[in-house]
Copies of this chain bind each other. A is one copy, B any other.
Amino acid sequence: MPTDDDIFRALADPSRRRLLDRLHVTDGQSLGDLCEGLAMTRQAVAKHLAMLEAANLVVAVRQGREKRHFINRVPINEIAERWIGKFDQPRLSALSALKQHLEGEDND
């Protein structure tokens, strides 16, 4: 079972987010597919995918000599619920609230 940390750290890298994007566009791609057009070796991509798998953001299935990769939305949802939910308890656009708070410090 991946921890919160696995997920956050997997999402921290732009290359990995890009891979997730590509899978979002076309799900079930092989390693070779995912390498196309990237300025990276196959091995680098494989490592990234391994981390995404470890974080359970991607589920991979070996199919013959290929390996299909599928995006898994569940961990992102959990993060969203545990984190965004928590920080949004007061109200969703806390922007103005914070600004008012800070500006209020002055003329108090």
**Residues of A participating in the B interface, judged by any CB pair closer than 8 Å:** 4-5, 8-9, 11-12, 14, 17, 20, 24, 59, 61, 63, 68, 70-74, 76-77, 79-80, 83-84, 86-88, 92-95, 98, 101-102, 105
Contacts and interface: CB of A to CB of B under 8 A. Distances in A.
A70 B87 contact: no
Nearest to A74: B95
Contacts of A71: 87, 98
Contacts of A94: 72-74, 77
A33 B63 CA distance: 54
- Number of copies of chain A assembled together: 2
Given A80-B80, A87-B76, A12 B14 contact: no
A14 to B, nearest CB: 6
* Chain A to chain B: the 9 pairs with minimum beta-carbon distance, closest first: A12-B12, A73-B94, A80-B84, A73-B87, A74-B95, A9-B12, A8-B12, A5-B14, A76-B87
Contacts of A17: 4, 8
